Structure 1
Amino acid sequence: MKSVAGENTDLYINGSQVHVQTEDWGPEKRQLISRVFKNGRVHKTFKLAYEKITNYQTDSQRKKALMQLHQTVIDWAYKQM
């Protein structure tokens, strides 16, 4: 099992640049991490343990979960920032 590729998205919310970065921290740490950056600093971190992903052993399921987490965090950023 290896890490799947992450996602990065730049947003502009209320005149500020916001960056959302979502990563697979791999089999040793066994979690997906999504961070929201504002003005170059981490504003909020979201974590999703592998154990909460159905069939996390497959790259395709982890990638699907990563994409869903990334979109959920983008939606959160638009509502909260």
Structure 2
Amino acid sequence: MTRFMDVHHGMQGITAEQLQQGRQAALAVEREVGAHFEHAWADPESGTVYCLTEAASTEVVQQLHERSGGNVPDEIHSVPLSV
């Protein structure tokens, strides 16, 4: 599986509680879609949210977000290398 960083825009004012709720929703369905949600970061001022997920494809990442509440990403980037 590959890691993917997805980006959501337009989420100005997101709170830590809302970010945590989104994470919990993703964890609840990750097995159903065959993904592993790893981490999320947010900048409430710019409204940008980043999610790191391990999955087989961008389509699986998209499915994970659709099934966990509908906050689909604006961008999905493969990040196969890390240090």
Interval containing the TM-score (normalised by the shorter chain): 0.3 to 0.5
Larger Rg: 1
Greater RCO between the two (CA within 8 Å, min separation 6)? 2
